Chain A
Amino acid sequence: MTSDGGSGAAAIRVEGVSHRYLPARGKPVLALDHVSLEVREREFLALLGPSGCGKSTLLYLIGGFLPIGEGLIEVGGKRVSEPGPDRGIVFQHFALFPWKTVRENVTYGLAKQGLPRDEQTRRAQEFIDLVKLSGFEDAYPAQLSGGMKQRAALARTLAIDPAILLMDEPFGALDAQTRILMQEELLSIWQRRRKTVVFVTHDVQEAVYLAERVAVMSARPGRIKEIVDTRFSVSGPALFKSPEFVERVDHVWNLVRGEAIAAQGGAA
C-alpha cells in the first residue's frame, strides 16, 4: 500500500530500535522490538496500535527523552541524543507546569526563544485564542477540565512553532465538536507552516482523515505492522462519504482489530 509519497528526504529515521523498560521492581518490559520507520520531510504520519504497544515510547525516543539502547534514530540527518525545541511534543497526559497559569505555561517556551516580553505575550494570546481558551489565561491547570488542559498543552507546543510535531493522542480528551475544530486548526497549521507531524491516535477515522500515511503497530512488543497510504483525490466534507475513504478506513480497521485481539490474547 505504501507509495512514493513525494520525494522529500527523511525528517525522522528510526532504524532497528528496541526499547526495554527496567522498572525498579519487577521484570524488564520489552516495549519496542526492532522498529524501523521513516517519516518524510513535511509529512503527516499517524501512528495507530493497541494500548500498550509502545506508541508513547516511540515518541519519547524520537523526542530524545529516553536513552536509545538499541538501534538508531536520526532527525534531520543528525543522531538524536537529547531533547530540543526542534521537536515539539504534546504529551498524552498534558504535562502542564501546575504552578504556572495557562499564559505562563504558553509563554515558557517563547521566553526560551529570546522573544521580547510583549512579543511573548502577543504570541501566547494568539495561540490561547486558537485553542479557544480565551478568558482562562490566568487560570492554573488544577482549575481546568481535562479537555481544557489538553488544549493549553497544545497551545504551549504550537506557540514555539517546532519543525517537527510529536503528538500523543492530542485530542483524546476533547468532545466531538472541539475535536473537529482542533483537527481543522492542526491541518491548517500543518499546511501553512509545512511541518512534519507524527500523530498518535486510537481513532481510525481521525488517522485516515488527517494523515498522509498511517502506520499500524502490532501488539506488544511493538513493531510496525503495515503502513497505509491515506491520501485521497477528494477533499472537504465529501471525503467522508467517498468510497475510497470508506474502503481505506475499513482496511485500517481490520488491521487494528486483528492486533487488538492479539493483544487481548497475549494478556489473557
Chain B
Amino acid sequence: MTATLWRYTPLLLIFVIWEAGTQTGIISKWALPTFSAVVAAWLSLMQGGELLYHAAASLMRGFAGLGLAIIVGTTLGVLMAWVKPVRLIFNPIVQLFYPMPKSALIPIMILWLGLGHASKIVLIFLGCMLPVTISAFNGARGVEPVLIWSARSLGATRGQVLREIILPAAMPEILAGIRTALALSFVLLVSSELVIAREGLGYLIGWLGDGGVYASMFAVVLTVAGLGFVADRLYLMLMKRSLAWRE
C-alpha cells in the first residue's frame, strides 16, 4: 500500500506545483484555475448530479462500443488466421482502414446516425475493432502447430480446435490488443462528444468551456483522465488474473 503511494508521488507533486504556481501568480489564473478551485468545482458538479449523469452516458457508450469491438474483432481476427476465404476477403479491407485516423469518421457517423448514442457507439466500435482484429489475427497465426495436432489427435474437431485451442493460445495477444482499444475508446468517445452531442463528458467539457466556467471544465477533464486511468488499472488486474497460467 505504501509502495503504491510512493509510486504516485510525482503525480502528487504536479498538483502541489499547480496549486503553488497559480496561487503565487507565476502561472496566470486565466490560463489555469487554481487546483483548489478545480476541486471545489468538481465537488459542486458531483453534488448537482450533472457529472454523474454525463459520465453515465459516456460510459454506457464506451462499454457498448468497446464490447462490440471485442466480440466482432476477436472473432474476425481468429477466423482470418485460420479460414483462408475469410482472410482473402478481409485482409485488404483491414489493411486499408487500419492506418486511417478514426476521428475522420466522426462527421460521417453523425451524418448517418444523428446526435445521440448510436453515432458514438458505432464510431467506437469501428475504431476499436481493428486493433483487436489485428492482435487476434497475429496471436492466432502464432499458435504452435503441435498444440493443434495434440487436440486433433485427442479427438477435437476443427471447430473445437478454433474455440478451445487457438482462441486461448492467442489470448495473451488479444488481451494486449484490447488494452490499446480501451485507451482508444476514451479518445474517440470524448472527441466525438466534443464535436457534437447532447450529453456525455465530452459534451460537458465543451459546454463549460464555451460558457467560460474554466474551473468546472478542468474538473471534468480531470474526471475523464481519472476514469481512463482507473479503467486501465482494472483491466490490467483482470488481464493478470486470466493469464495466471503464464507464471
Q: Taking beta carbons and an 8 Å cutoff, which residues of A are in contact with B? A: 60, 63-65, 82-85, 87-89, 91, 93, 95-100, 108-109, 112-113, 140-143, 156-157, 160
Contact = CB atoms under 8 A, between A and B. Distances in A.
A140 B150 CA distance: 17
Contacts of B146: 91, 93, 95
B246 A112 contact: no
Contact of A85 (B145, B147, B154, B165): B154
B171 to A, nearest CB: 7
Interface in B42-75: none
B112 interface: no
Chain B CB within 10 Å — which of A87, A98, A142 has the most?
A98
Given A65-B152, A96-B150, A112-B156, 10 more contacts: A60-B149, A63-B149, A63-B153, A82-B152, A95-B144, A97-B147, A97-B169, A99-B169, A99-B245, A108-B154
A96 B245 CA distance: 12
B168 to A, nearest CB: 5
Contacts of B156: 108, 112
Contacts of A63: 149, 153
Chain A binding site: helix, strand, loop or mixed by DSSP? loop
B153 A85 contact: yes
A90 to B, nearest CB: 10
A97 B150 contact: yes
Interface residues of B, number: 22
B195 to A, nearest CB: 42
Given A95-B149, A97-B165, A156 B154 contact: yes
Interface string B161-178: 000110011010000000
A61 to B, nearest CB: 12
A83 B245 contact: no
Given A85-B155, A112-B154, A113-B155, A99 B149 contact: no
B210 interface: no
B247 A91 contact: no
B168 A95 contact: no
Contacts of A142: 245-247
A182 to B, nearest CB: 19
B149 A65 contact: yes
B58 to A, nearest CB: 34
A40 to B, nearest CB: 22
Contact of B145 (A64, A65, A97): A65
A168 to B, nearest CB: 10
A1 to B, nearest CB: 32
Contacts of B144: 95
A83 B157 CA distance: 10
A268 to B, nearest CB: 31
Contacts of A99: 168-169, 171, 245
B118 interface: no
12 contacts: A60-B149, A84-B153, A84-B155, A89-B149, A91-B149, A95-B147, A100-B245, A109-B154, A140-B247, A141-B245, A142-B245, A156-B154
Given A140-B247, A142-B246, A108 B149 contact: no
A140 B168 CA distance: 14
Contacts of A143: 247
Contact of A98 (B149, B152, B245): B245
Contact of B152 (A83, A97, A156): A83
Given A97-B165, A160-B155, A91 B246 contact: no
A78 to B, nearest CB: 16
Contacts of B160: 112
A84 B152 CA distance: 6
Contacts of B244: 140
Contacts of A98: 169, 245-246
A82 to B, nearest CB: 7
A195 B247 CA distance: 37
Contacts of A100: 245
Interface in B173-206: none
A109 B164 CA distance: 12
B151 interface: yes
Contacts of A84: 152-153, 155
Nearest to A65: B149
Contacts of B246: 98, 142
Contact of A109 (B145, B155, B168, B169): B155
B247 A108 contact: no
